[in-house]
Amino acid sequence: MIRKRNPIIYSDFPDIDIIRVKNTYYMISTTMHFMPGGSILKSYDLLHWEFVGHVYEHLDKTLCQKLEMSNIYGQGMWAPSFKFHKGKFYICFSANDTKKTYLFTAKDPSGPWKKSFIDGFYHDAALLFDDDNRVYMVYGNTTIHLIELKADLSAPKLDGLNRILITDTADVDLGYEGAHLQKRNGKYYLFLIHWPKSGTKRRKQWCYIADSLTGEFSGKCIIDDDLQFHNQGVAQGGMVDTPDGDWYLFMFQDRGAVGRVPILIPIDFKKDHPIIKNNTIPLELSVTSMKPTYEYLPLNGGDDFMYKEGQKLKPFWQFNHQPNNDLWSVTKRQGAFRIETAKTVPNLTQACNTLTQRTIGPRSSAWVSVDGSNLKEGDYAGICVLQGSYGAIALTKINGNYYLEMLNRSAEYEVTMGCVKDNEPAIKHATILLDNPVITLKIEVDFENLKDEARFSYRENNQWKPLGIVHQLHFKLDHFTGCRFGLFLYSTKKIGGMADFLNFEYSLE
């Protein structure tokens, strides 16, 4: 038996969907404005995971997806549905910036993935391939719809099943959504997240069951638990079975600035209804591994940036928005991630080619050496904790001299869902003059018990020296993602600046 504590991944993998194909589990989660997008993981025990790859390098190459004209913060790819049917993998999701519903198919989860569309826009859509080869989609918020699709999944079937399954309008902060529709022993299971205003006042998970897709769905709350964490409910997901016939629910939980983390819950069935053992989500799980000696590659890690021409970045890296591939490289200088600029922007959130990876709770840190020898006047190059209320430590060039600054955007900025319009420069909290444009910079994050703090330092004489304030991190709906470490360069006055990042290191503390 393999043992591990919940959450099974203490990092931002929200809206997960898990399938099993023979002895391998596959997971996909929401990646929104980060690209390559649609991170796919695999596991042999449901507890430990590694990257398979990503579904797409870019989505539609729109101006907003490329951080031109505007942005897609909090939008992009949402709530994917993952299925395997007759030798083919299917991934379906909608994107709030384009108002399209995407369908990707592949014979292997590592790709290549073929992109197409399902006619219409469907919130939190989920696919179901039934035993008679008919295919359905369930979707919606508050009102949950079921439609039948054409055999090629290109659009709703003209004379196909089309009905409302559930309606929920009373006493809710969040009506039913996040649908997962699955079939077990001839019965249909509809899983929905729900957040009532009354009672424990946290997110809950409901499950409705029907004997047929034309019949009545009846159900109840199956999860009302916070895993002993600040009344943050656990919800939104479905179920998966093991080769031995055991069943598990997979859900996520909000954990503050680190993001939304995957939770695994063993279940039994009583009169076909899923029952959580002891009505409590376990803090620790024991699961049978199908490959007990398998060594998983890390979901986060350091990088020496020693790449060959045409080689992809390690899969834990994602760019903030679609990158401009003409302005970054890992081969122009061996052992360095290089960024160049071709436009001026006011702040970090509009910087092109910021390279990110997820932070990990309860504590983690990252550091990198930055060579700013080729910065232009007014450039900023450094390492950040990326979210709406970002913080950073960066080299800059002012009147021909090099300085090191700690800067941030506080939580008081205006928050809206998506398309953040922010032209204000960051707030500077500390500035020191440097005699060398090459320096090693570090960020430490602490998410323990919603502490959500970041500290910044630089290395001098082989010692870390703090700079600036302790920065408060926040999970908000503008970016709608967990905090990430990021390597960035942006120009505020002149284009053509360049920075090299060397020896990126990642540590769990």
Q: Mind listing the pLDDT tens digit for each residue in 43-78?
A: 999 999 999 999 999 999 999 999 998 999 999 999
Q: Which token pair is 341?
A: 């600029």
One DSSP character per residue, 330-370 reads STTTTT-EEEE-SSB-SSGGG-TT-EEEE--SSEEEEEEEE
> What is the pLDDT, as a whole number, of residue 175?
85
State mean pLDDT over 458-469: 97
Q: What tens digit of pLDDT does each residue of 194-205 get?
A: 988 888 889 999
Strand bridging mode 24-28 / 34-35: unpaired
> Could you count the other beta carbons within 10 Å of the beta carbon of residue 465?
11
Q: Which token pair is 150?
A: 């054409």
CA 332 to CA 345: how far, in whole Å?
A: 25
CA 188 to CA 239: how far, in whole Å?
A: 12
**pLDDT higher than threshold 60 for residue 416:** no
CA angle 20, 24, 30 (to 5 degrees): 65
Per-residue b or e along 146-165, where b marks 16 or more CB atoms closer than 10 Å to that residue's CB: bbbbeeebeebbeeeeeeeb
- DSSP letter (8 states) at residue 202: S
**pLDDT higher than threshold 80 for residue 345:** yes
- Contact between 59 and 95 (Cβ < 8 Å): yes
How many Cα atoms within 13 Å fall on the side-chain side of residue 169?
A: 2
CA 432 to CA 308: how far, in whole Å?
A: 37
Which three-class secondary structure state does DSSP give residue 232?
A: coil
> What is the pLDDT, as a whole number, of residue 509?
75
Give me the count of residues in the chain. 509
> What is the pLDDT, as a whole number, of residue 406?
98
Give the residue carrying structure tokens 């957040």. Answer: 195
> What is the pLDDT, as a whole number, of residue 421?
58
State mean pLDDT over 428-457: 98
Instruction: Identify the CA nearest to 145 among candidates 117, 166, 120.
Output: 166
CA 123 to CA 496: how far, in whole Å?
A: 42
Domains of the chain: 2-287 (2.115.10.20), 318-508 (2.60.120.200)
Task: Please tell me whether the overall predicted TM-score, pTM, comes out greater than 0.85 for this model.
Answer: yes
CA 308 to CA 306: how far, in whole Å?
A: 7
CA 371 to CA 500: how far, in whole Å?
A: 5
Share of the chain above pLDDT 70, in %: 98
- DSSP letter (8 states) at residue 258: G
CA 439 to CA 426: how far, in whole Å?
A: 21
State mean pLDDT over 291-311: 96
State mean pLDDT over 98-105: 98
Give the residue carrying structure tokens 């910087």. Answer: 351
> What is the pLDDT, as a whole number, of residue 349?
95
pLDDT band at 417 (very low <50, low <70, confident <90, very high): very low
- DSSP letter (8 states) at residue 96: T
**pLDDT, averaged across the chain:** 95
CA 173 to CA 197: how far, in whole Å?
A: 6
- Contact between 81 and 328 (Cβ < 8 Å): no
Which three-class secondary structure state does DSSP give residue 278?
A: helix
CA 351 to CA 328: how far, in whole Å?
A: 12
Of 91-95, 238-242, 414-418, 434-438, give the lowest mean pLDDT range.
Answer: 414-418
Give the residue carrying structure tokens 């992809």. Answer: 312
> What is the pLDDT, as a whole number, of residue 420?
53
CA 475 to CA 170: how far, in whole Å?
A: 27
- Contact between 339 and 494 (Cβ < 8 Å): no
Instruction: Identify the CA nearest to 265 among candidates 278, 252, 279, 281.
Output: 281
Contacts of 241 (CB under 8 A, 6+ apart): 20, 184, 247, 248
How many Cα atoms within 13 Å fall on the side-chain side of residue 454?
A: 33
> What is the pLDDT, as a whole number, of residue 299?
98
State mean pLDDT over 150-161: 97
State mean pLDDT over 275-279: 87
- Contact between 27 and 92 (Cβ < 8 Å): no
**pLDDT higher than threshold 90 for residue 354:** yes
> What is the pLDDT, as a whole number, of residue 415?
54
Contacts of 297 (CB under 8 A, 6+ apart): 50, 51
Which three-class secondary structure state does DSSP give residue 277?
A: helix
Q: Which token pair is 237?
A: 């997901």
**pLDDT higher than threshold 50 for residue 418:** no
